[in-house]
Amino acid sequence: MKSINLSPYFNALLLVTVFLLGIWVQSSGFVEQFVYYWDEILYLSGHHIKLTLISGSIAILIGVPVGIILSRPSCRKAADVVMQIFNIGTTVPTLAVLALSMSFLGIGDKPAIFALAFASVLPILRNTYTGLLSVPAHLKEAATGIGLTPIQQLVKVELPNAMYVIMAGIRTAFAINIGTVPLAFQIGGTGLGELIFAGIDLYDTPMMLAGAIPTAVLALIMDMVLGVVTFLIVSKGVNPNRK
Q: For position 186, which CATH number holds? A: 1.10.3720.10
Question: What digits encode the pLDDT tens for the residues 29-80?
Answer: 777 777 888 899 999 999 999 999 999 999 999 999 999 999 888 887 788 8
- Whole-structure pTM value: 0.82
CB 116 within 8 A of CB 181: yes
- Confidence bin at 243 (pLDDT 50/70/90): low
- 241 domain residue, yes or no: no
- 122 domain residue, yes or no: yes
CB 213 within 8 A of CB 229: no
- 242 domain residue, yes or no: no
Residue-range definition of the domain harbouring residue 109: 29-233
Report pLDDT for 214.
92
Chain Cα centroid distance, residue 162: 18
pLDDT above 90 covers a percentage of the chain that reads 32
Distance CA(179)–CA(177), nearest Å, equals: 5
- 227 domain residue, yes or no: yes
- 105 domain residue, yes or no: yes
- 7 domain residue, yes or no: no
Mean pLDDT for all residues in the chain? 85
- 95 domain residue, yes or no: yes
In angstroms, the Cα distances linking 120 to 16, 172, 209 are 39, 8, 25
User: Is residue 136 pLDDT above 80, yes or no?
Assistant: yes
Report pLDDT for 4.
57
CB atoms inside a 10 Å sphere around CB 117: 22
Question: What digits encode the pLDDT tens for the residues 104-120?
Answer: 888 888 888 988 898 88
Which among 175, 172, 167 has a CA at the least distance from the CA of 235? 167
Which range (90-104, 163-177, 203-217) has the least confidence? 90-104
- 74 domain residue, yes or no: yes
Number of compact structural domains in the chain: 1
